[in-house]
């Protein structure tokens, strides 16, 4: 954990933010904190320590320092990142910059831990894709971060297994289900044992993984979490279409039994291992896993395909990414601004993309002047770019999405784990929870 003296005024700022729980973020002023344009920047990034992605982040910081003269130190944290950030806030020891998931924006804004970003004043902002800016916009319509990286998701399928069981490329959900059954019963690895499965699903409730994974399937089936417009939402998680999507996933656990064992408590780290070790043959995940699977499994053994259209007649993919958050209470707000500008510049984006290596911290660039094919020669990245452009969708713009994601994860996990659960009744209960939360957040339609 980084230790540095709390700048003057941060104590009062955090007391208001953490006790009042929803204080407005600092906007356009230093909150009484004495400023020093040469003060070192402490940068936290949610990446595994010692990983190549940490090395890329440190390279980005070093290049920023070389260009600006502002010292910058990177700390990579992965496990319990949000908890450690809360601890730093309680200790009045926040970093200056946090690079973390777009989904965390609402929670950070609610607690008053981030500064508002003046889009017009951010150098190079006009070069950033409008859809990327949407991920940095809060429910209040203001920007509370600078977009840094975006991504979509696609199907990773064991091509060698598919060919072994004599199946074609799945072009529908029915064909996907059939392929999963063949992977489970057809001994695709040829070892004579019933030790392979179709689906790899990180269905743990931790960090809301269950609902996070299910989101793309829910949308593709014509279902949704909420309906309405920002400020006026109503629950949609218990519509017939939503129930159909949840029951479709439930069938993989309960009827077809094509999901790898232990999935109900599996986080993404364990899910990655299940795919690359040959336990499961279909994994809906992000582009960041390509380099890892190329190394641990073999590039020739799997293929990447877009999720086919679902019962709703369309294919949707959860769009997410990472933002550069300018944390409140910094004694170098000028340095924060300059780092954000460097990170979103063509140079910063190119450094963050890290070519075709597994060190990427920019998955798809947010700067429209950066051409994906000019930086990465691996054409599989084009699948994710196409999916993001044609089917990518961010979660609803409520003040804080975290409780919605978590309560959905708890409900979906129960439905998948206990096959006797009445899905519609469970979703009706979840819808009431959503109604209560929408009322609490003052955005109920």
pLDDT digits 0-9 by tens, 246-285: 999 999 999 999 999 999 999 999 999 999 999 999 999 9
Domain assignments of the chain as residue spans, ordered by start: 10-151+320-382, 154-318+401-440
Rounded CA gap, 322 and 102, in Å? 5
Distance, in Å, from the CA atom of 198 to the CA atom of 185, rounded to the nearest integer, reads 9
Q: Is the pLDDT of residue 18 over 90?
A: no
Query: How would you classify the pairing of strands 226-229 and 280-285?
Result: unpaired
- Strand 392-393 with 317-318, pairing: parallel
- Report the b/e string of 99-111 with b at 16+ CB within 10 A: bbbbbbbbbbbbb
Name the nearest CA neighbour of 349 among 56, 32, 49: 56
State the sign of the Cα–Cα–Cα–Cα dihedral 79, 81, 86, 91: positive
- Look at residue 442 in the predicted model and tell me its pLDDT: 95
pLDDT value of position 11: 37
Mean pLDDT of 305-321: 94
Contact 119, 127 (CB under 8 A): no
User: What's the pLDDT at 38?
Assistant: 94
Contact 152, 132 (CB under 8 A): no
Q: Which tokens go with 442? A: 């003052």
Round to whole Å and give the CA distance between 180 and 190: 16
Mean residue pLDDT across the chain: 92
Beta bridge partners of 444: 233
Q: What is the rounded CA–CA span in Å between residue 273 and residue 277?
A: 6
Residue 32: pLDDT band with limits 50, 70, 90:
confident
pLDDT in tens, 379-435: 999 999 999 999 999 999 999 999 999 999 999 999 999 999 999 999 999 999 999
Q: Which ranges in 346-401 belong to alpha helices (H)?
A: 346-353, 372-375, 381-391
Assigned CATH for 154-318+401-440? 3.40.190.10
- Please tell me the number of Cα atoms within 13 Å of 365 on its side-chain side: 25
Q: Is the pLDDT of residue 100 over 90?
A: yes
DSSP at 436 = H
Q: Say yes or no to pLDDT of 20 above 70.
A: no
How far from the centroid of its chain's Cα atoms is residue 63's Cα?
26
Q: Is the pLDDT of residue 15 over 80?
A: no
Alpha helices in 92-172 (DSSP H): 105-110, 130-134, 159-164
Higher per-residue confidence, 121 vs 312: 121
Contact 352, 149 (CB under 8 A): yes
Element (H, E) at 249: helix 240-254
pLDDT band at 22 (very low <50, low <70, confident <90, very high): very low
Q: Does pLDDT of 28 surpass 60?
A: no
Q: How confident is the model at residue 30 (pLDDT cuts 50, 70, 90)?
A: low
pLDDT of residue 19: 35
- Both tokens of 204, joined, read 């743990």
Beta bridge partners of 197: 280
Give the pLDDT confidence score for residue 394 in this predicted structure. Answer: 93
Fold match between domain 10-151+320-382 and domain 154-318+401-440:
yes
Pairwise CA distance, residues 435 & 362, whole Å? 36
* pLDDT (mean) for 145-170: 98
CB 147 within 8 A of CB 164: no
> What pLDDT is attached to residue 25?
36
In the numeric block, which tokens belong to residue 270?
């364990």
Tell me if 103 sits within 8 A of 395, measured CB to CB: yes
Reference 123, options 323, 330, 325, 334; nearest CA is 334
Q: What pLDDT sits at residue 31? A: 67
Return the ∠ at Cα 366 (arms to 365 and 368), rounded to 5°. 90
The pTM score is: 0.85
What is the pLDDT, as a whole number, of residue 29? 53
CB 349 within 8 A of CB 59: no
Contact between 263 and 256 (Cβ < 8 Å)? no
Question: Which burial class, exposed, middle or buried, applies to 359 when counting CB atoms under 10 A from its CB (0-12, 13-18, 19+)?
Answer: buried
CA dist., res. 437 & res. 429, Å (int): 13
Residue owning tokens 């940095």: 136
39 or 288, higher pLDDT: 39
Give dist(CA 73, CA 45) in Å, integer.
11
Residue 5 has pLDDT above 90, yes or no: no
State the architecture of 10-151+320-382 in CATH terms: 3-Layer(aba) Sandwich (3.40)
Q: Which pLDDT score is estimated for 312?
A: 87
Q: Which residues, 6+ apart, have CB-to-CB distance to 22 below 8 Å?
A: 110, 111, 112
Which range (24-33, 128-137, 427-436) has the least confidence?
24-33
As a whole number of angstroms, the distance between CA 332 and CA 246 comes to 47
CA-to-CA distance for 328 and 111, rounded, in angstroms? 10
pLDDT tens digits for range 179-202: 999 999 999 999 999 999 999 999
pLDDT greater than 70 at residue 21: no
Instruction: Give residue 354's pLDDT band: very low, low, confident or very high (50, 70, 90).
Output: very high
């Amino acid at each position: 954990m980084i230790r540095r003296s709390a700048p003057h005024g941060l104590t009062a700022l955090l007391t208001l933010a953490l006790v009042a729980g929803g204080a407005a973020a600092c906007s356009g002023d230093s909150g009484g904190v004495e400023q020093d344009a040469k003060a070192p920047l402490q940068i936290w990034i949610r990446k595994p320590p010692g990983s190549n992605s940490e090395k890329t982040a440190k390279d980005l910081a070093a290049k920023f320092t070389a260009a600006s003269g502002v010292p910058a130190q990177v700390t990579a944290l992965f496990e319990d990142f949000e908890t450690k950030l809360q601890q730093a806030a309680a200790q009045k020891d926040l970093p200056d910059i946090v690079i973390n998931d777009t989904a965390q924006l609402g929670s950070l804004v609610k607690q008053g831990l981030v500064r508002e970003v003046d889009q017009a004043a951010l150098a190079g902002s006009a070069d950033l894709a409008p859809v990327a800016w949407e991920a940095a916009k809060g429910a209040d319509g203001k920007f509370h971060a600078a977009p840094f990286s975006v991504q979509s998701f696609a199907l990773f399928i064991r091509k060698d297994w598919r060919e072994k069981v004599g199946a074609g490329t799945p072009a529908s959900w029915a064909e996907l289900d059939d392929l999963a059954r063949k992977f489970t019963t057809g001994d695709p690895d040829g070892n004579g044992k019933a030790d392979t499965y179709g689906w790899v699903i990180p269905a743990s409730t931790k960090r809301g993984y269950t609902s996070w994974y299910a989101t793309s399937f829910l949308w593709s089936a014509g279902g949704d979490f909420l309906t309405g417009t920002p400020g006026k939402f109503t629950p949609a998680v218990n519509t017939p279409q939503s129930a159909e999507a949840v029951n479709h996933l439930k069938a993989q656990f309960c009827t077809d039994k094509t999901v790898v064992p232990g999935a109900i408590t599996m986080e993404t780290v364990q899910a990655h291992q299940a795919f690359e070790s040959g336990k499961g043959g279909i994994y809906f995940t992000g582009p960041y896993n390509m380099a890892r699977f190329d190394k641990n499994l073999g590039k020739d053994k799997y293929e990447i395909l877009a999720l086919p259209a679902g019962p709703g007649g369309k294919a949707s993919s959860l769009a997410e990414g990472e933002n550069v958050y300018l944390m409140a209470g910094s004694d170098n707000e000028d340095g924060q601004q300059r780092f954000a500008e460097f990170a979103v510049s063509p140079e910063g984006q190119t450094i963050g993309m890290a070519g075709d290596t597994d060190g990427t911290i920019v998955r798809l660039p947010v700067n429209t002047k950066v051409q994906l094919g000019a930086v990465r020669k691996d054409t599989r990245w084009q699948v994710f770019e196409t999916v993001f452009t044609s089917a990518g969708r961010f979660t609803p713009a409520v003040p804080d999405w975290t409780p919605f994601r978590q309560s959905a994860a708890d409900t979906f996990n129960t439905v998948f784990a206990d096959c006797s659960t009445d899905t519609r009744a469970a979703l009706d209960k979840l819808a009431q929870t959503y109604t209560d939360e929408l009322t609490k957040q003052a955005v109920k339609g």
